[in-house]
Structure 1
């Protein structure tokens, strides 16, 4: 191993910083919740759970509807990750699919998929990209995992307002002048 090649620790640190920056620029958690909301909606109608020798089926005649809703939620979650500019459409579509899953897919995957998709869709609609990007430790001179540099305190100026003498009216009723 040469002295110029980065070690595993530097590669992992670089990957984590790159992923953090990528995640910061899109509604990551909204996409993850929407994507995860599709899993129980797909799985529950096709599952064959059993307790000891007692087997019960949750499948309905609309198993294909559950499959379609689950796959669409999965695709909307990926869309939120890779096309963040379409977040409003994807969020509204996820909310509508979650509502439809209540009727079509065994109460929206026994309410688990419904809640995940609803929360993910709401987060997607309300997400706004920050104007400033997160500080890169290389630019600020921070050591990763080290203490944050202290910021200089900012002074806040206060204006002292004194009441105007009685009878000193500048044309506005009850207006006071700043000193």
Structure 2
């Protein structure tokens, strides 16, 4: 006896990624992680010098590392995005003092923007309809034939 399973429509990797991305604050987490990565890349002090400086030098590496981790947590655990984004904005602003003016402003701005995007993301929001689609729907509604006017001629 052969049992057949009904065919499901197959989705390609791009469509699967778009579906995964739509269920989380993707751009917020990505920008926060990129901001932390940029700040880490602009750090020029070696670890030996950082240990000699003390806590101030260690914070220059710790804050952007935690920013990268928070960005990844926002991507993979969006239920806690509010907490992660608040900590992310505080760390982004803290890099102003600890890490070359926040990675020469670029990492600071990326981290702050990503944190704000993650904080403002709403999971149950309807997808936006583009202006072009709204106009097309309005034109279709005005050109539709009313129910009672099918058999009449004017």
| Both structures adopt the same fold (TM-score exceeding 0.5) | yes
2:13 alignment partner, one of 9, 15, 28: 15
Give distance in 1, aligned partners of 2:93 and 2:44.
20
Q: Is 1:91 aligned to residue 85 of structure 2?
A: yes
The alignment's C-alpha RMSD in Å is 2.5
Unaligned runs of 5+ in 1: 1-10, 49-58, 135-149, 156-179
Matches within 5 A, 1:5-154: 14-46=12-44, 61=53, 62-132=56-126, 151=137, 153-154=140-141
Question: Number of paired residues?
Answer: 119
Displacement, 1:131? 4.3
Q: How far apart in 2 are the matches of 1:133 and 1:110? A: 36
Instruction: Give 1 or 2: higher helix fraction.
Output: 2
- Structure 2: runs of 5 or more not aligned: 1-9, 129-135, 143-154
4+ long deviations beyond 4 Å: 131-134
Give the superposition deviation at 1:45.
Answer: 2.1
Return the alpha-carbon distance in structure 2 between the equivalents of residues 110 and 102 of structure 1.
Answer: 9
Q: Is 1:45–1:63's contact at 8 Å kept on the other side of the alignment?
A: no
TM-score by length of 2: 0.68
Paired residue secondary structure (1:26): coil
| TM-score normalised by structure 1 residue count | 0.59
Query: Computing the radius of gyration over CA atoms, which structure comes out larger, 1 or 2?
Result: 1
